[in-house]
A and B are shown apart, each in its own frame.
Chain A
Amino acid sequence: MALALPLYVSEVWLRVFEYAMVGAVAAIGLTLLSGHCGQLSLGTPFFMLVGGTAYAALAADAEAGSDLVGIGLPPVIAIVGAVVVSSLAGLAFAPVAGRVSGIYLAVATLSLVFLGLYLGQRFTEFTGGAATGRPAPPFTIFGFSLTTREPELTVLGVPFGAQERMWYLFLILVIGGIFLALGAVRSRPGRSWRAVRDNPASAAAMGVNVARARATAFAVSAGYAGLAGVMMVLWFGLLKADENEFQGSWSIAAAISLLAIVIIGGLGSVWGAVLGAAFVFGLPLALRLLVPSVPLLASITEGSGGFTPSVITAFAYGSLIVLVVIFEPGGLAAIGRRITARFGR
């Protein structure tokens, strides 16, 4: 069904799904780190920025007369490079993460968002700065672009433009991310993470190198964030540093949205992270498309008491978090398990 979607759905709707997939990839990394290894992090947007920037710098061609750094690597290699660079950034932060935990770790990781804001505006030769940004290098494989409409392609009478192709690229990345995460969670690395989360002393007594397990979780989660950063840049067609710490793709708001995703989805659940992302990242965009065509929604936003679609969704997922915390701490994942238990088999 997902495979054939571009044949039925318009470009604007494909973009909604694509944006949700960006959130899903970042949230999978976060749910591994926070849900399985027990390390609360608000630093995900920083690693997204690192990944997005690394991709732009690695994949762009160096241009005469431009200050922008461009290495000119093939985009596939640039994506892998971006994931590696952001994982290494996560690894570099791991010693800090090994020393503090809980709310202190959340605060420590939040400082990364401020670091990202500073670095993003300071090193404009990499990020393009906050004013103009820099164009995203198109994702091409064997001369076939997956993010623009070159060369032209028509499938079953539907022209395959940029969004149709990006849909498939993102779908592959998300499925790959889910696949890796589930495999890890269900075997040795996941087991050691949960042991470290539940009781570090007994984990060590069972042979788990606690510091290393934590560092690995951080690196893995940063790698996912980095990939999500690349997707974000491809989705916007642009890499741009944030103007302030409160709004933007790499901001505190983004950090909180990602945390909301994993809580709504059910901490530790990979599929929950995907569902949560559909809510938190997908819903605002979907509402914006729906508002003009649904009379009730249109009337709410019309009078403009500040009720823009994004304000509505902010309320929606705010109350969703409260409901989840009160009624179903297992999140959407637990609700899903109950439903399949009742109707399944």
Chain B
Amino acid sequence: MKPTSDGTTAAESTYVPELHVRNVTVRFGGLAALTDVSFTVKPGTIHALIGPNGAGKSTCFNVVSGLYPVDEGDVRFGPSDLMSTAPHQRVSLGIGRAFQNTALSGHVTVLDNVMLGRHALTRGGFLLAGLRSPRMRKEQQLHLDRVVEICEFLGLGDHLQRPVGQLSYGDQKRVDVARALATEPKLLMLDEPAAGMNDAETSVMAQLISDIRSSLGISVLLVEHDMSLVMSIADHVTVLDFGRGIADGTPSQIRTSPEVIRAYLGGGEGPAVLQEELS
């Protein structure tokens, strides 16, 4: 994967901001999904967010992309205060994400789904599009080329014109990752990108994620249940349990943390892989 070189991105600079999540609490009715959670994603790192089901990982993602309101605490991305940034404006700051349950348009082609990722990078509304403004068409073609490049990088080259709903679950996850990548993010958030994939596909995905980081120099915030994937590619790990941060450190520090062992072994819910990984 090469960085864009054709001037299609708004923010051409290679500056990657730090993501600060500070003392964030999110409540749904009586239930606290997150309680006083803090962590920092350092520029250019792969930062994993792990924890048992229901720990609040996806909620963290939704806080950062602005889909859930925050009851306490705040989130900053470099100099920008995300609390005062509308959800749709966060893309332009460089926050791109994929969803745990892929949020794609099933009847729409792969290419068209991924092109949505270029929305904030392009211009033109109903009249310009309807009148087929030459400028808009030229811009569109430029972005289409980049989108094809991204799809091929993710191994979707053969499916470009197929409706997403016809693809396997693993391929749909890849389309969702491609779409997030198409926003040219500085911070790429991936929620269980390897869910539903077999071992071979999972290791391909792991390789893709580290390629993305090393070639684009961006940060990756990763939620993943497959512990071998997490432990092999993450630089830093934050562990959540029942909405609280219980550990934060390098993979080797996490492996030996008593809280983590208790959370995973005691809860009985944790993936068996981690138990193997921990032993």
Judged by a CB distance under 8 angstroms, whether A332 is at the interface is no
A183 touches B129 (CB 8 A): yes
Chain B interface size, as a band, is 35 or more
- B67 contact set on A, CB distance < 8 A: 201, 204-205
From B103, B105, B129, give the contact of A187 (CB < 8 A). B129
Q: Do A208 and B119 touch across chains, with their CB atoms under 8 A apart? A: yes
Q: Which residues of B contact A206 (CB under 8 A)?
A: 91, 116-117, 119-120, 179, 183
- B28 interface residue, CB < 8 Å from A? no
Is the CB–CB distance between B122 and A188 below 8 Å? Answer: yes
The chain B residue sitting closest to A202, CB to CB, is B103
- B87 surroundings in chain A (CB, below 8 A): 204-205
Total A-B contacts with CB atoms under 8 angstroms apart = 96
Residues on B with beta carbons closer than 8 Å to the beta carbon of A202: 99, 103-104
User: Residue on A with the closest CB to B99?
Assistant: A202
Q: Tell yes or no: A207 within 8 A of B by CB.
A: yes
How far does the alpha carbon of A189 sit from the alpha carbon of B66 in the complex, in Å?
Answer: 23
B244 within 8 A of A: no
**Tally of chain A residues near chain B (CB < 8 A):** 29
A208 and B126 in contact (CB under 8 A), knowing A187-B140, A191-B116, A202-B99?
A: no
B132: A residues at CB distance < 8 A: 183
As a 0/1 sequence over residues 187 to 207 of chain A, the CB contacts with chain B under 8 angstroms (1 = contact) are 111111011011101111111
Taking CB atoms, residues of chain B closer than 8 Å to A205 are 65-67, 87-88, 90-91, 97, 99, 103
Contact with A along B203-243 (1 / 0, CB 8 A): 00000000000000000000000000000000000000000
In the complex where A180-B131, A183-B132, A207-B119 touch, is A189 in contact with B124 (Cβ < 8 A)? Answer: yes
The reply to whether B66 and A204 contact each other, CB–CB distance below 8 Å, is yes
Main secondary structure of the interface of A (DSSP, over half): helix
- B33 to chain A minimum Cβ distance, whole angstroms, is 16
Partner of B130, one of A183, A198, A203, A208: A183
B103 in contact with A199 (CB, 8 Å):
yes
Judged by a CB distance under 8 angstroms, whether A289 is at the interface is no
A310 shortest CB reach to chain B, Å: 35
Residue of B nearest to A194 (CB): B105
A188: which B residues are within 8 A, CB to CB? 119, 122-125, 129, 136, 140
A209/B140 in contact, CB under 8 A? no
The answer to the question of B52 belonging to the interface, with a C-beta cut-off of 8 Å to chain A, is no
CB of B108 within 8 A of chain A? yes
| B106 part of interface (Cβ distance < 8 Å) | yes
Closest residue of chain A to B139, judged by CB? Answer: A188
Give CA–CA (A204, B99) in the complex, Å: 12
Measured CB to CB, the residues of A under 8 A from B are: 179-181, 183-184, 186-192, 194-195, 197-199, 201-210, 216, 220
Closest 10 CB pairs of A and B: A207-B120, A180-B130, A202-B103, A207-B91, A183-B130, A204-B87, A198-B105, A199-B103, A187-B129, A184-B129
